[in-house]
Amino acid sequence: MSDVKPIPDDYPRVTPYLCVDGAAAAIDFMVEVFGATERMRISAPGGMIGHAEVAIGDSIIMVSDEYPEMGVIGPKKIGGTAVTVMVYVEDADDTFAKAVAAGATAERPVETHFYGDRGGQFTDPFGHRWNVSTHVEDVAPDELARRSAEMFGE
């Protein structure tokens, strides 16, 4: 009988895995913008990263360099991304400003939203899209429904 757990204790059930042209620089970006810490790195030939893990708060993001021969490519190679990584932060304005200063492209400015979050969206220099938000108001379900209907003109 094995004592190995099918879901390790120190991993969340869902973990984004970002493939990047320049994984080391992407990790540096996450450290600078989010205060991420690198948990581990498996180096590959040619200075590449075969696999790395960074922690942002209690979340983990896995990262690797591109390996086109294995079908592992980043968003720039495919012309963009359909995925957005959402991160709750202590100060969305500050985090957004750090991201832009570190080379990200602002997509949607930071503003307070009807559902109780203040946040904005940017694309990092590697082509991945991020939402950063700070929760600023607890909105009751009936009030959320009213605000949503008002926003969408219902």
Q: What is the pLDDT of residue 153?
A: 86
Q: What is the pLDDT of residue 35?
A: 98
Question: Which SS3 state, helix, strand or coil, does residue 91 take?
Answer: coil
Residue 126's region, left for phi above 0, alpha for psi from -120 to 50, else beta, is alpha
Helix or strand holding residue 56 (H, E): strand 48-56
Residues of the chain with pLDDT under 70: 1
Q: What is the pLDDT of residue 1?
A: 61
